[in-house]
Amino acid sequence: MNAAEKITRNRALASWVEEVARYAKPERIHWCDGSEAENEHLIEQMLADGTLEELNQKTHPGCYLHRSHPSDVARTEHLTFICTENQADTGPTNNWMSPADARAKVWPLFDGAMKGRTLYVVPYLMGPASSPFSKVGIEITDSAYVAVNMRIMTRMGQVALERLGDSADFVKGLHSLGDLSPERRFICHFPQSKEIWSVGSGYGGNALLSKKCFALRIASTQARDEGWLAEHMLILGCEDPQGKTTYIAAAFPSACGKTNLAMLIPPLSQAGYKVWTVGDDIAWLRPGPDGRLWAINPENGFFGVAPGTNNETNPNAMASIGKNTIFTNVAVTKDRQPWWEGLGQAPEGLTDWRGNPHDASKGEPAAHPNSRFTAPATQCPGISPKFDDPQGVPISAIIFGGRRASLVPLVYQAFDWAHGVLVGAMLSSETTAAATGKTGVLRRDPMAMLPFCGYNAGDYLNHWLRVGKGLKHPPAIFNVNWFRRGPAREFLWPGYGENLRVLRWIVERAAGAGKAVETPIGYVPTADAIDTRGLDVAATTMQELLHIDAEGWTAETRDIEEYLHKLGERLPAELLQQVQRIRQRLLAGSARPAASVAGRTA
Judged by CB, which is closer to Mn ion: 281, or 556? 281
The piece of 202-210, 438-446, 466-474, 543-551 that touches ligand O2Y (CB under 6 A) is 202-210
Of positions 74, 164, 215, 380, contacts ligand O2Y by CB under 6 A: 74
In the complex, the smallest distance separating the C-beta of residue 136 from Mn ion, rounded to whole angstroms, is: 22
Of positions 26, 191, 200, 204, contacts ligand O2Y by CB under 6 A: 204
- Name the binder of 370 from ligand O2Y, Mn ion, none, CB < 5-8 A by kind: ligand O2Y
Torsion, Cα of 225, 146, 315, 395 (10° steps): 10
Could you confirm whether 256 is annotated as catalytic? Answer: yes
Spatial contact of 277 and 236, defined as CB atoms under 8 Å apart? yes
The piece of 132-140, 163-171, 203-211, 344-352 that touches ligand O2Y (CB under 6 A) is 203-211
d(CA 602, CA 597): 8
| Options 32, 83, 238, 256, the catalytic residue | 256
Name the phi and psi angles at 31, rounded to 5.
-90, 120
Say which residues have a Cβ less than 8 Å from residue 58's Cβ, sequence separation at least 6: none
Judged by CB, which is closer to Mn ion: 75, or 501? 75
The piece of 96-104, 200-208, 221-229, 502-510 that touches ligand O2Y (CB under 6 A) is 200-208
Q: Which amino acid is at 594?
A: A
Judged by CB, which is closer to ligand O2Y: 256, or 411? 256
| Residue 353 burial class via C-beta count within 10 angstroms: exposed 0-12, middle 13-18, buried 19 and up | buried
Q: Which amino acid is at 41?
A: H
Extended strands (E) in 102-240: 118-126, 135-141, 155-156, 171-176, 186-190, 195-199, 229-231, 233-239
In the complex, the smallest distance separating the C-beta of residue 244 from ligand O2Y, rounded to whole angstroms, is: 30
How many CB atoms are closer than 10 A to CB 559?
14
d(CA 263, CA 282): 14
Judged by CB, which is closer to ligand O2Y: 145, or 415? 145
In the complex, the smallest distance separating the C-beta of residue 207 from ligand O2Y, rounded to whole angstroms, is: 8
In the complex, the smallest distance separating the C-beta of residue 346 from ligand O2Y, rounded to whole angstroms, is: 23
Of positions 38, 281, 299, 352, contacts Mn ion by CB under 5 A: 281
In the complex, the smallest distance separating the C-beta of residue 191 from ligand O2Y, rounded to whole angstroms, is: 20
Of positions 145, 284, 303, 493, contacts ligand O2Y by CB under 6 A: 303
280: contact with Mn ion by CB under 5 A: no
Spatial contact of 251 and 232, defined as CB atoms under 8 Å apart? yes
Residue 326 pairs in a beta bridge with: 64, 374
Site for ligand O2Y, residues 75 to 134, rule: CB under 6 A: 75
d(CA 107, CA 199): 9
Tell me how many residues contact ligand O2Y (CB under 6 A): 9
Q: Quick check: helix, strand or coil at residue 249?
A: strand
d(CA 493, CA 560): 26
Would you put residue 320 in left (φ > 0), alpha (ψ -120 to 50) or beta? Answer: alpha
- Name the binder of 120 from Mn ion, ligand O2Y, none, CB < 5-8 A by kind: none
In the complex, the smallest distance separating the C-beta of residue 86 from ligand O2Y, rounded to whole angstroms, is: 28
Binding pattern for the stretch 445-474 against ligand O2Y, x by CB under 6 A and - elsewhere: ------------------------------
Tell me how many residues contact Mn ion (CB under 5 A): 1
Of positions 158, 277, 351, 370, contacts ligand O2Y by CB under 6 A: 370
The piece of 100-108, 261-269, 273-281, 365-373 that touches Mn ion (CB under 5 A) is 273-281
Spatial contact of 76 and 187, defined as CB atoms under 8 Å apart? yes
Our CA angle for 306, 310, 315, nearest 5°, is: 115
CA 471 to mean position of chain CA atoms = 24
d(CA 130, CA 286): 16
The piece of 198-206, 334-342, 360-368, 413-421 that touches ligand O2Y (CB under 6 A) is 198-206
Spatial contact of 340 and 330, defined as CB atoms under 8 Å apart? yes
Ranked by CB distance to ligand O2Y, the top (closest) residue is 204
Nearest to 244, CA basis, from 272, 216, 267, 223: 272
231: contact with Mn ion by CB under 5 A: no
Largest distance between two CA atoms of the chain: 72
Judged by CB, which is closer to Mn ion: 232, or 274? 232
d(CA 593, CA 110): 63
CA 124 to mean position of chain CA atoms = 18
The piece of 199-207, 261-269, 525-533, 546-554 that touches ligand O2Y (CB under 6 A) is 199-207
- Name the binder of 413 from ligand O2Y, Mn ion, none, CB < 5-8 A by kind: none
Site for ligand O2Y, residues 494 to 553, rule: CB under 6 A: none
In the complex, the smallest distance separating the C-beta of residue 152 from ligand O2Y, rounded to whole angstroms, is: 13
Nearest to 472, CA basis, from 218, 201, 230, 288: 288
In the complex, the smallest distance separating the C-beta of residue 281 from Mn ion, rounded to whole angstroms, is: 4
Paired sense of beta strands 293-296 and 393-401, if any: antiparallel
Judged by CB, which is closer to ligand O2Y: 170, or 303? 303
205: contact with ligand O2Y by CB under 6 A: yes
Of positions 254, 329, 337, 578, contacts ligand O2Y by CB under 6 A: 254
d(CA 372, CA 363): 21
- Name the binder of 74 from ligand O2Y, Mn ion, none, CB < 5-8 A by kind: ligand O2Y
The piece of 40-48, 78-86, 201-209, 414-422 that touches ligand O2Y (CB under 6 A) is 201-209
In the complex, the smallest distance separating the C-beta of residue 334 from ligand O2Y, rounded to whole angstroms, is: 28
- Say how many Å lie between the first and final Cα of the chain, rounded: 61
The piece of 46-54, 136-144, 217-225, 277-285 that touches Mn ion (CB under 5 A) is 277-285
Spatial contact of 263 and 380, defined as CB atoms under 8 Å apart? yes
Would you put residue 407 in left (φ > 0), alpha (ψ -120 to 50) or beta? Answer: left
Judged by CB, which is closer to Mn ion: 33, or 281? 281
Spatial contact of 20 and 119, defined as CB atoms under 8 Å apart? yes
Interacting residues toward ligand O2Y by CB under 6 A: 74-75, 203-205, 254, 281, 303, 370
Residues identified as active-site: 256
Interacting residues toward Mn ion by CB under 5 A: 281
